[in-house]
Chains A and B, each alone.
Chain A
């Protein structure tokens, strides 16, 4: 009886995948005749028989990954019998192997473990030279040294590549720190974790314009801005559609009772979001007072922690920069954010199908699609638009 083993077909080959047996059990096979296909390192090679005889028993089937030199079949004379032991032995061996793999524990001395932890070295990637293959101090230090060398090499290679590809000349390197870092982290978190859905709507601001002028005349100064109207209208809309005034936390949607509007304010080093608490309960004038104060504090870098915490929904406004509209990123952990563009005079079609010029505003609403769906957002935007088109509702 001759053994057919998994051949070593390359210098680095440790095991091979049996792709296909070209002979069946019982087939006659001649020396040099193709016996099976083995895949190694993504290359499939035809393995020839070393013996002439009958393929008596195939031990390893298609799809099995077998270490080199392990017996995969037997070739023997026509009447030779393959003993039960051979077959059983193979099955037993396989079982034992599995158990061993499962129970494999990393053997390392306490000192080796301590050093590995301190140096952030993965012990499972080290082979130990101590008794029984135990990882000892010397093994960890060796790996640490090699890693250091590799890192050095890598840096040198990177440097070389950099030189070769003629990288653009650097003017300045600014470390990501402080507020910039916070913004970077929060925005990455938002964009990577929250599935955004963004809706846009056009708002005719004619009535709001008149309404605003009227109040300013009443109080005798140009205090009230469109922003204040939008804040108040948004707060009222949130009161109506409370699901937008929420957060997703530990697989629960938490809806807030308080409607605290965060207002994104651009400052020298970045962006900050002071909060107008319970905006739905405040009058337009109260909102204006708060906004003016908070924006001033923000620009003077005088905001306190309580001024910037607890917002439940954010409004971001780039209207003053003549931006028509934009798609905002949610300020986590909130459920939505409203983007306010510029109010531009545009031709609009009124109820009588007449083309008239109207001050138009485009609002963008980004929502956390995990919490709610587009239809709710759409209703919210409609409601918000209606308030701004009939601002008497604000009083």
Chain B
């Protein structure tokens, strides 16, 4: 099958959906002629024009507010927040307005809106351009939170997110944009709330999100050489959340490591750990649940420190060996 990058897969999903439904439009900073800070929307303005690929002033509040207004009046906006860090400026519109509307109008209002935004460190962009803030949004009823880890998932999940009638926070990762993978040319949907087993294994389950899925896969290849068979589960969407796949995996392996880039304290890993403890999989745990997350510090600018602030392949290998007792 054809291989394309994560960024290309997202662009393809946007293009195909925009061709299918003229109510879909893009809105954000430097999306048009510049093609977005990471080039994801490059070229789309040529096909769809300025009306449907709209550059905005530097106001995240306005981007989301305008999108919300458009969404409840029948359009299907796909907004882009250039860096996830800036989403703080649009929190009122997301948390108090977009998430609540369907409920407060008794289901009569629909908010078919996607907010795409790149998260994560690794580009030397320092503390205000490197955060992973997904846990905040999982805490707000009314929002869906999606975190693809591969080009294939990115395309299928974005198409499903655009077709969903609820506000979706679609979290991309800066370091994943250039990764490649097999992606079908035609349109396809990946349902929200279905986890994916990225690798089958027997000794240990690693639950990883976003870039950590790729690192877990690299780690598992190393671990395999030492006879440790790792199963990797990618929740893909944090909300809705696929408990069943995770629980079943743990029932098979009895050991689990949860890895995410976001700070460990209050990170979504804590929620996963709690879900495991509360479920029937508790009785199948043969070791304590292990979490790997970012340090509780602002992401440093210094490249070495930046790398050390979030879990790396070696960290996953080390934790796995400790858990297995090798």
For window 237-287 of chain B, which residues contact chain A by CB distance below 8 Å?
254, 282-287
Residue pair B287, A130 in contact (C-beta under 8 Å): yes
B325 CB–A CB distance under 8 Å: yes
Confirm or deny: A131 has a beta carbon within 8 angstroms of a beta carbon on chain B: yes
**A137-B325 contact in complex given A110-B284, A114-B283, A114-B284, C-beta closer than 8 Å:** no
* Cβ-based interface call for B186 (8 A): no
Q: Please determine whether B286 and A111 come into contact, CB atoms closer than 8 angstroms.
A: yes
When chains A and B are docked, how far (Å) is the Cα of A130 from the Cα of B287? 8
Provide the A90-113 mask, 1 if CB < 8 A to any CB of B, else 0: 000000000000000000011111
27 contacts between A and B (CB under 8 A): A109-B254, A109-B286, A109-B287, A110-B282, A110-B283, A110-B284, A110-B285, A110-B286, A111-B254, A111-B283, A111-B285, A111-B286, A112-B286, A113-B283, A114-B283, A114-B284, A130-B286, A130-B287, A130-B325, A131-B287, A131-B322, A131-B325, A134-B287, A136-B286, A136-B325, A137-B254, A137-B286
Q: Kindly name the residue among B283, B286, B287, B325 whose own CB sees the greatest number of chain A CB atoms within 10 A.
A: B286
Bound: A128/B87 CA distance, A? 49
**Tally of A-B residue pairs with Cβ under 8 A?**
31
B280-304 vs A, Cβ < 8 Å mask (1 yes, 0 no): 0011111100000000000000000
- Quote the shortest CB–CB distance from B92 to chain A (angstroms): 43
Whole-angstrom distance between the alpha carbons of A131 and B321 in the complex?
12
Nearest Cβ in chain B — how far from A29, in angstroms?
Answer: 50
The CA-CA distance from A111 to B205 in the complex, in Å, is 15
Q: How far is the CA of A137 from the CA of B251 in the complex (A)?
A: 12
What distance in Å separates the Cβ of B13 from its nearest Cβ neighbour in chain A? 42
Interface of B is mostly: loop
Q: CA A285 – CA B206 in complex, angstroms? A: 85
Complex: chain B residue closest to A111, CB-CB: B286
**Chain B residue nearest in CB terms to A113:** B283
Q: Which residues of A sit under 8 angstroms from B287, Cβ to Cβ?
A: 109, 130-131, 134, 136
The answer to the question of A289 belonging to the interface, with a C-beta cut-off of 8 Å to chain B, is no
Considering the chains assembled together, what is the distance between the CA atoms of A392 and B39 in angstroms?
A: 119
Closest-CB distance, A142 to chain B (whole angstroms): 13
Closest 4 CB pairs of A and B: A111-B286, A114-B283, A109-B286, A137-B286
Minimum C-beta distance from B202 to chain A (A): 12
A114 CA to B284 CA, complexed, in Å: 8
Which bracket fits the contact residues of A?
A: 10 to 19
Question: Which residue from chain A places its CB closest to the CB of B282 in the assembled complex?
Answer: A110
| A129 in contact with B283 (CB, 8 Å) | no
Question: Do residues A109 and B285 form an inter-chain contact, with CB atoms below 8 A?
Answer: yes
Cβ of B254: which chain A residues have Cβ within 8 Å of it?
A: 109, 111, 137
Give complex CA distance A110, B285 in Å.
5
Find the B residue at minimum CB distance from A136.
Answer: B286
* Nearest CB on B from A137, distance (A): 4
Distance in angstroms from B248 CB to nearest chain A CB is 15
Contacting residues, chain A, for B285 (C-beta < 8 A) = 109-111
Distance A114 CA – B281 CA, assembled complex (angstroms): 11
| Cα distance, A118 to B190, chains bound together (Å) | 40
Please give the distance in Å from B149's CB to the nearest CB on chain A. Answer: 29
| Complexed CA–CA distance, A110 and B277 (Å) | 10
Residues of B within 8 A of A109 (CB): 254, 285-287
Residues of B within 8 A of A131 (CB): 287, 322, 325
How far does the alpha carbon of A114 sit from the alpha carbon of B250 in the complex, in Å? 14
CA distance A17 to B322 in the complex (A): 41
A111–B325 contact, CB under 8 A?
no
A348 to B254, CA, bound (A): 85
New contact pairs (19) apart from A109-B254, A109-B287, A129-B325, CB-CB < 8 Å: A109-B285, A110-B282, A110-B283, A110-B284, A110-B285, A111-B254, A111-B286, A113-B283, A114-B283, A114-B284, A130-B325, A131-B287, A131-B322, A131-B325, A134-B287, A136-B286, A136-B287, A136-B325, A137-B254
Interface residues of B in 306-326 (CB under 8 A from A): 322, 325
Q: Distance in Å from the Cβ of A355 to the closest Cβ of chain B?
A: 83
Q: How many whole Å from B86's CB to the nearest CB in chain A?
A: 43
Residue of A nearest to B277 (CB): A110
Residues of B within 8 A of A112 (CB): 286
Residue in B282, B284, B287, B322 with the greatest tally of chain A CB atoms within 10 Å: B287
A148 to B286, CA, bound (A): 22
* Closest partner residue, chain B, to A140 (CB atom): B286
**Nearest Cβ distance between residue B251 and chain A, in whole angstroms?**
9
- B283 CB contacts on chain A under 8 angstroms: 110-111, 113-114
Q: Which residues does chain B contribute within 8 Å of A130, judged by CB atoms? A: 286-287, 325
Bound together, the chains give a CA A235 to CA B284 distance in angstroms of 63
Q: Scoring B residues 225 to 241 as 1 if CB is less than 8 Å from chain A, else 0, what string do you get?
A: 00000000000000000
- The residue in A109, A111, A113 that gathers the most chain B C-beta atoms within 10 A of its C-beta is A111
A 132-144 to B, binary, CB cutoff 8 A, 1 in contact else 0? 0010110000000
The complex places the Cα of A131 from the Cα of B322 at a distance, in Å, of 8
| Distance from A115 Cβ to chain B, minimum over Cβ atoms (Å) | 9
A342-357 contact mask (Cβ, 8 Å, vs B): 1 or 0 = 0000000000000000
Taking CB atoms, residues of chain B closer than 8 Å to A113 are: 283
